[in-house]
Chains A and B, each alone.
Chain A
């Protein structure tokens, strides 16, 4: 037994994905490039290694060229430094020297580059002129972008993890998250991020305990430290004492037992006390998750996010790849329905090959349907794949980020085109496929009556709807407390949309995080929502909650809710009226 003198440290963060795990820490450097490994290259492989370096430089340089080209004329004056950077990429002292080092020492490109850069840095540090001293920063920037391309082109070091570890990172971009081999990860810890961040969603959907927003986790935890992650309580313990270890092992087994109990009843229907059956569906991102939707008793897929297939590669996937994936999901889920949301690339989930790195306000930018309408070829490829999959089960199409009625019409026109082209080729599909829209932009909610005439269903994406309506960035810790699903403005907006759906006799579903919190059920049911889609592991507890509620009561209760003027007031009457029920189903926060 190894004895450590390190003191037990407790860190408090945001409980993002429930569960407890104990294991060794594995730190991921910022951008995955802080830790540079050195290894030797055989003479035979040297040319390949040099080629790898050259193509990394080229990619970095091309990217910069793109930035320069897309900079508006009036700002060109200020980007001369970028022109300098462009030349620096091929500078003898950087480019030539790195290749020289590789040839001389037979080392990998990353290591050679690192050596060269630190030499150059030293040279500049010794200079007296502060301007020149500062130029070291330019060289570092240029070399870092090469390094990112080097590391990214091979595998990010997250991809190379061999043992089962607890991943510790400052932050994980969706692109990085997609590179993690998740079966190697026991738990997740990050400095940044919150409940509804992409990392959080992924952790929950894969049932990996996660605590995010710890702020200084990467400073307090070292590689191979023993760490306990309590994703239920939002606590991370570093260097636990023996007593702590025993306590948490016990908690871990209790949690597993609780999970087993709750999933046993998960296949009972979601029928209220007064006999109304609700549809409870799962949100998925990876095709493999269909299995957990079925295991947890989901009636279908209410939201199939399709970005992952675009994120995990270097170029746009082709129709065949997409179709294969969709068909898998549809066939496994059949006869249950699968609602496929078309590509919603956003700033948060930028594709390196198709995004503008300088976009200031990506959530308000070119994303979702806007991106697809601007890139009809990309869109049409996906629409054809979805249509083809519709021949194999019950498929619905969901259009994201709709903010104007014209977008619905334009998208439907492209869909009709895609259908025509399949028809001509004699490829089968469901020509009566249901088309719905996400209600996540306030303008779409306000215009719901107009939208309803042209769509078959609404899907309320509460995450974005709340963020846009309350003007709160849910990832920003300074304001994330203002992100309140039970804000009266949100409840009114949902009511408005649900009422319009009812008058127009179209379906309405809630597919944001809001649908996975038992606490919200009395209100959502009372508002007349009868379809809910959520992360698969929330399905059992939500179904159990629904089975304990009475629709007539909730409708009356909502009348009182609508009189309240703040979320605090709403929470109070919720506790007062439904506190017992929520406690009974084992719901604690």
Chain B
């Protein structure tokens, strides 16, 4: 720690050069934070804590085919299943197609199967008692400035009403919250009653989109899934049941190999960063050879000169990197607040840890050669200016 002053003063010897290099590091880690938040959103979509005890049952043909509601009671009876909910994707539009959010027709027990959606008891009761009632997530309500008591009209894209109209109107009776910061995405949804949906829809009555089962023991997931699928084997509505985790992963992977894209971009970014900071460090050390020689004459060992230079490069990376990640955190919060449903998670602990590791690694890499040069300088030659 007493050497910190020495390292700091060495770093800021040429203020402008150091600040410019720092800003490049900030830019690189800002990008890292932003891209990582996108990657996390895709990777962890559905990997929630509560999700570990949930299974999803879809039609084996494709997730777009509907299933009959009639198998509901039989699924409930499968040993190990504590609660079953059914859901239909509605796909309605609120005012403009650009205002996309998830809206779904659900069974009354949805909130038992998704305990992480916290709804006050009074509002839950209001929902159960209102045929046209709807519950929305807090983020969505905030984004559209909805309050309880508002009427929300949605334009159907898939399901016109029997009456021929395309407009479905709902009464907002409840607002739910998700406690876990990294699962805040889930608040961008609207739920209404499947009963209202089924009664009013023009065709396809008696069908649900998919089932969600809450199981008592996550370790029994495979057995229970097989048992559920066995119920519909060889029928005209064969099912595929898997853990919520597996389903989300499969779905996300169809969208894009986000991991590969993010990884490639960051690879290019860090490669150029290593070159840039490496060049700066090499220059900086080259200029300071006489001073390093003085330190050696005073009695600083070779190893301590090596350590001083490495500390300098690591410090440079850490300051810039931490600033960049902090900026990314601010930026992500801002974007999520303004745009609502974006596939970005707040910059979390994992990103910070990974970022710090990268800063240390790049710092060491970039400082290695200059540090070696400093360590190996021959005092006599350096002092003589050779």
B is a partner of A: no
Interface residues of A (CB under 8 A from B): none
Interface residues of B (CB under 8 A from A): none
